[in-house]
Chain A
Amino acid sequence: MSEAPLIQLEGITKTFGTGPAAFQALKGVDLSIERGDFVAIMGPSGSGKSTTMNILGCLDTPTSGIFRFRNVEVQSLSRDQRSLLRRRYLGFVFQGFNLLARTTALENVELPLLYRGESKKARREAAERSLDKVGLLPWAGHTPAELSGGQQQRVAIARALVSDPDVLLADEPTGNLDTERSIEIMELLRDLSRSGITVLMVTHEEEMAEFARTIVHFRDGLVQRVVEGKRREVAE
């Protein structure tokens, strides 16, 4: 009866390097994530949370184990097949925003649609809709240098959303922001998860993790515990 989880990790390991210098970042991670969940991944540095995030983002492949996404075994896909998966189903938000410099907010948001072969008109309309969702439509013509950190991160979220992804992956999305801006971003992510998008977020800030529905703690390359988040609400 119950639908298979959107994301399933089974016995995932990841080793960097070979020989005596080899370092095992993941030592057998098992994890299931349901569609529409808002997951915060926490843990000290070196605990394997970023490596897990790269694997979940189809940017990297595990050394061993099974990673099922939409019932597709991602670990056996080619590089280009994983690119197509990212293009179609995933959106990325990074700590450093990673917007293209000297390129307007609108053009940055249009970028993923370019690789989908959408027409110029369709790209423009979708990008404007997406910027509107994050409340930045009036800034569409500004370049990243002309925007604040919080605004840049919202442009990045608009870019991640423009292709209508199943999963939004956010790697320390508030790492470069002050508390007030961070909370704005978290509310945005929470609202997105309520609209049906699965949000996976790496953070080391307890305060930010409180917005999530599920908190996954990593330690020494293993999932230490999974707890229910507080689904924090901010008083208006």
Chain B
Amino acid sequence: MRLRMLGATFLLALREIRRHLLRSFLTTLGIIIGVAAVITMVTLGRGLTANVQEDIAGLGSNVFIVFPESVEERQPAPFDDMDVAAVERQIPGVVNAAGSSQTPAVAFHNGQDWSTTVQGADAAFFAAQSIEVVEGRGFSQRESERGESVCILGPKIVDEIFVEDAVLGETMRVGNVSCLVVGVIDERSNAVGGGQDADDVVLMPLKTVQRRFTGGTNIQFFVVKYDDSYTSASIQQQLIDLLRERRVIQEGEANDFNIVDTADINDTVNNVTGTMTAVVTVIAAISLLVGGIGIMNIMLVSVTERTREIGIRLAIGALAKEVRLQFLTEAVVLCCFGGLIGILLAFGLSITLASAIDLPFLFDPTVNIISFLFSAAMGMIFGYYPAHQASKLDPIDALRHE
């Protein structure tokens, strides 16, 4: 019996909304905008976080990146192979350490040339940085130890100067060095080592790069991968102690190197997206509040307009709570529609914006459901007072109302 009443009340609410379609739409605009804003921002925030996390995963997890840093404008000493070997040998918990060096170079093939970067890297560096060889193979130990002229190409190089399908087994020239292409790496969105495109790179064994391009045994930076049963802080401290000792830094002097923890980057990104979400939530809350007041206003108008109808309903025996339920249902249904439209709008907006700023679109059911329930709650909160007013009307006065 209750249910029948509720069903009939629901249909009645739908009919009232249809009767004043434009008014209903304008009334719910606040709710629509609020809901759309929250969902869009949360969805984009998730996409951004996922994007950054993917990038960081590209840097490897449980990985430090160590590079020299000038102190008071003094040029710091570069790291070399010995430093990397020491870190790997002397710090318990370090799985491996791998140096890298890079330099600009021009790549030639088939009469075409392309300015790019040549980077020295061996198997350990590939592993620490999660660089995947998707075609061909990685460098063999023998190639690395002997500094042979072999290279692995970033996908961009392949696109730019290799017109034919065959890439593996081709010989190309990089600067003055002729090398054999043995592999192609996966597309990466970003990687360490400057702002250049991570896909626009020619990788060679570190020894080859040192010998043929940079000279000596220096490296520009190195990565340290550690066992995740050790804490980041303990490894970092040992790293600092060891490097200070090797670089003969006196007590009280600053480190002339920098250690970047990929986990820190992750935290920073999470903080930024968290702050962004909080700001948007506040804006949305204000928008929803304004929307709710709009709902209350229009429901009060509706009660006044329909005073006679209320009088008729009361006269034929409607209870106060039944009249209240009717108007409350109307407000809730109105807000639910607003919520639904907001969700649809957010869906379209998120997809469009995500593709425009090159973020993945990650649908979040939770925020959608919560937003919808929140809209319904707005209807209840702001619909209650007008509904209560309606239920308190005196049937005799209401019937006389013009």
Residues on A facing B (Cβ under 8 Å): 54, 57, 59-60, 79-80, 83-88, 90, 92, 94, 98-100, 102, 111-112, 114-120, 159, 163
Measured between alpha carbons, how far is A115 from B1 in the docked complex, in Å? 9
Residues on B facing A (Cβ under 8 Å): 1-2, 4-5, 8, 19, 308-309, 311-322, 395-396, 399
A92 close to B315 (CB less than 8 A):
yes
Chain A, residue nearest B392 (CB): A79
A115 close to B322 (CB less than 8 A):
yes
Chain B, residue nearest A114 (CB): B8
A98 close to B312 (CB less than 8 A):
yes
How many Å from the CB of A188 to the closest CB on chain B? Answer: 19
Complex interface: chain B residues within 8 A of A102 (CB): 19
A100 close to B309 (CB less than 8 A):
yes
B308 close to A98 (CB less than 8 A):
yes
B316 close to A159 (CB less than 8 A):
yes
Chain A, residue nearest B315 (CB): A92
Of residues B2, B311, B319, B322, which shows the largest number of chain A Cβ atoms within 10 Å of its Cβ? B319
Complex interface: chain A residues within 8 A of B315 (CB): 57, 59, 86, 92, 98
Chain B, residue nearest A87 (CB): B317
Measured between alpha carbons, how far is A115 from B314 in the docked complex, in Å? 10
Which residue of A88, A111, A117 is within 8 Å of B313 (Cβ)? A111
Complex interface: chain A residues within 8 A of B1 (CB): 117
Offer 17 A-B interface pairs, CB within 8 angstroms, sorted by A: A80-B320, A80-B321, A84-B319, A85-B317, A86-B316, A87-B316, A87-B317, A90-B317, A94-B399, A98-B312, A98-B399, A114-B8, A115-B313, A115-B319, A115-B322, A117-B4, A117-B5
Complex interface: chain A residues within 8 A of B318 (CB): 83, 87, 115
A112 close to B316 (CB less than 8 A):
yes
Measured between alpha carbons, how far is A166 from B326 in the docked complex, in Å? 28
B316 close to A84 (CB less than 8 A):
no
Complex interface: chain B residues within 8 A of A100 (CB): 309, 312
Measured between alpha carbons, how far is A100 from B16 in the docked complex, in Å? 12
Measured between alpha carbons, how far is A126 from B59 in the docked complex, in Å? 76
How many Å from the CB of B11 to the closest CB on chain A? Answer: 10
How many Å from the CB of B110 to the closest CB on chain A? Answer: 79
Measured between alpha carbons, how far is A87 from B318 in the docked complex, in Å? 7
Binding site secondary structure of chain B: helix
How many Å from the CB of B300 to the closest CB on chain A? Answer: 20
Measured between alpha carbons, how far is A84 from B314 in the docked complex, in Å? 10
Measured between alpha carbons, how far is A43 from B301 in the docked complex, in Å? 38
How many Å from the CB of B329 to the closest CB on chain A? Answer: 13
Chain A, residue nearest B312 (CB): A98
A88 close to B396 (CB less than 8 A):
no
Measured between alpha carbons, how far is A79 from B311 in the docked complex, in Å? 14
A60 close to B317 (CB less than 8 A):
no
Complex interface: chain B residues within 8 A of A84 (CB): 317, 319
Of residues B317, B321, B322, which shows the largest number of chain A Cβ atoms within 10 Å of its Cβ? B317
How many Å from the CB of A183 to the closest CB on chain B? Answer: 26
B5 close to A92 (CB less than 8 A):
no
A80 close to B319 (CB less than 8 A):
yes
Q: A84-B317, A163-B316 are in contact. List 4 more A-B contacts (CB 8 A).
A: A57-B315, A59-B396, A87-B316, A119-B4
Closest 7 CB pairs of A and B: A87-B317, A117-B1, A86-B317, A112-B316, A59-B395, A80-B319, A98-B312
Measured between alpha carbons, how far is A54 from B397 in the docked complex, in Å? 11
How many Å from the CB of B87 to the closest CB on chain A? Answer: 80
How many Å from the CB of B15 to the closest CB on chain A? Answer: 9
Complex interface: chain A residues within 8 A of B313 (CB): 111, 115
B309 close to A54 (CB less than 8 A):
no
How many Å from the CB of B207 to the closest CB on chain A? Answer: 86
A111 close to B316 (CB less than 8 A):
yes
Chain A, residue nearest B4 (CB): A117
Chain B, residue nearest A92 (CB): B315
Measured between alpha carbons, how far is A163 from B316 in the docked complex, in Å? 10
Complex interface: chain B residues within 8 A of A86 (CB): 315-317
A115 close to B399 (CB less than 8 A):
no
Measured between alpha carbons, how far is A59 from B8 in the docked complex, in Å? 25
Chain B, residue nearest A50 (CB): B396
